[in-house]
Amino acid sequence: MYLNNSKIIVVKIGSALLVDNKKKIRKKWLSSFARDIKKLKAQNKKIVIVSSGAIALGCKKMNYNKTSLKLDKSQAIASIGQIELMNLFSKTFTKFKMNISQILLTLEDTEERRRSLNAKRTFENLFELDFIPIVNENDTIATSEIKYGDNDRLASRVAQITNADTLVLLSDVDGLYTKNPKIFRDAKLIKKVNDINKNLKKIYIKGVNVYGSGGMQTKIEAAKICQLAGSSMVIANGLYQNPISKIIEKDNCTWFIPKVSKLDARKKWIISSIAPKGIIMIDDGAKKALKSGKSLLAAGVKKVLGKFNKGDHVKIIDKKNSECARGLSSFTSDEIIKIMGHHSKEIKKLLGYVAKSEVIHKDDMVEI
């Protein structure tokens, strides 16, 4: 039900789904997964894939045992495995006439405002070009991701950045159980979670595949992020062929229901940001445009107060000094001073490079 109504879907694949315990690549499974993605694309849904597997594929190529790797060697193996991983996706998805791209991210990239804003624009442009972004954690420099296997939380941040409706975490279990189902026969699947409390946090299942490094705990942390961001999240068994179709048809999985709407979550994030770094004064025409839900353009800017960078939180005031909105600036304060009062077509000439046409995009702004 949730997937059918979702316009933007982020799917996270664990390394255990790509490489089995015998170091064999699960090519048949990946083809069935690509077929599922093709079906979603046919419904005009925008898809992002967050994939583990670089170290697993690097180990396979070099015939190494992952469990005996030291951290610095893991980073080198990840570098080798990234090429293998993207080649695998490229060959598989090309067969279904789908285009892919690669985005390397760390948790820091998603949690630092300016960098996450740049990432957001990249995702949006790839959607417009009809490419499927394949997001990998940057194992070559992100030591904490390798050490703790926090790709689940990375996926939840990607869902937050892309304003996704649903995050799908494909694992080697059907979902969240009352007990570890691999040990206890009386374990029961929890099909819906509305609130993650302290008791639920203690219920987790460790993955047993040697090529993965995360467990159920990181998935619960990811669910918390999604619930507060207004996105639904599902933990489902990805070992089956056509795993996405299985979720839709059988619904034998665990759904985490968002606590707030996506709009409310984004407003809360912008409004609750630290004290604004600067102020932008706008004219009456721009104020009227903002009230009708439009972006702030350079032509409507009258004055800039304070020094701020691209992506910083700024206050928007009218000519009477009354606050009318807050948002994330697409330009530095110095750049806005150069382009204010000018038409968007003149920005390239004034700044000397191609830039966004909006000073603050409507999606990055909240009316007060």
pLDDT digits (tens, 9 = 90+) for 167-195: 999 988 888 888 777 788 888 888 999 87
DSSP state of 363: G
CA gap 72, 65 in Å, rounded: 14
Say yes or no to pLDDT of 330 above 80: yes
pLDDT at residue 204 greater than cutoff 60: no
pLDDT bracket for residue 8 (50, 70, 90): very high
Residue 312 has pLDDT above 70, yes or no: yes
Which pLDDT score, from 0 to 100, does residue 172 have?
83
Contacts of 188 (CB under 8 A, 6+ apart): 177, 178, 179
Lowest mean pLDDT across 54-63, 104-113, 233-242, 356-365:
104-113
Print burial letters for 142-171: b (CB count within 10 Å at least 16), e (below 16): beebbeebbbbbbbbbbbbbbbbbbbbbbb
pLDDT at 29 over 80: yes
- pLDDT range class, residue 200, cuts 50, 70, 90: low
Tokens of 147: 């050490």
The answer to pTM > 0.85 is no
**Alpha carbon distance 161, 111 (integer Å):** 9
Cα 27 to the center of its chain, rounded Å? 25
Of residues 342 and 201, the one with the higher pLDDT is 342
The predicted model gives 328-345 an average pLDDT of 94
Phi, psi values for residue 193, rounded to 5°: -125, 115
3-state helix, strand, coil split of the chain in percent (to 5) is: 45, 20, 35
Q: Residue 155 has what pLDDT?
A: 92
For residue 328, what are the β-bridge partners? 313
Q: What is the DSSP string of 273-321?
A: SSSPSEEEEE-HHHHHHHHTTPPEEGGGEEEEES---TT-EEEEE-TTS
Residue 36 in this model has a pLDDT that exceeds 90: yes
For the chain, the farthest-separated pair of C-alpha atoms sits apart, in whole angstroms, at 70
Amino acid 198: pLDDT = 53
Beta bridge partners of 237: 171
Could you give the 3-state DSSP secondary structure of residue 325?
A: strand
Determine the Cα–Cα distance for residues 187 and 129; give it in Å rounded to an integer: 45
Question: Average pLDDT, whole number, for the chain?
Answer: 86
Concatenate the DSSP letters of all residues of 44-61 into one string: T-EEEEEE--HHHHHHHH
pLDDT of 303 above 70: yes
Q: Is the per-residue pLDDT at 246 higher than 50?
A: yes
Task: Give the CA distances from residue 158 to residues 102, 107, 170, in Å, rounded to whole numbers and listed in that order.
Answer: 13, 9, 15
Fill in the amino acid letter for 3: L
End-to-end CA distance of the chain: 34
Average pLDDT over residues 217-243: 90
Q: What is the pLDDT of residues 122-149, one digit of tens each?
A: 999 999 999 999 998 876 666 554 443 5
pLDDT tens digits along 254-280? 999 988 777 677 776 676 555 688 999
**What's residue 208's pLDDT?**
40
For the segment 339-363, the average pLDDT, to the nearest whole number, is 91
User: Which domains, and CATH codes, for the chain?
Assistant: 8-266 (3.40.1160.10), 273-367 (2.30.130.10)
Cα 42 to its chain centre, rounded Å, is: 21
- Name, of 32-36, 52-56, 204-208, 274-278, the range with top average pLDDT: 32-36
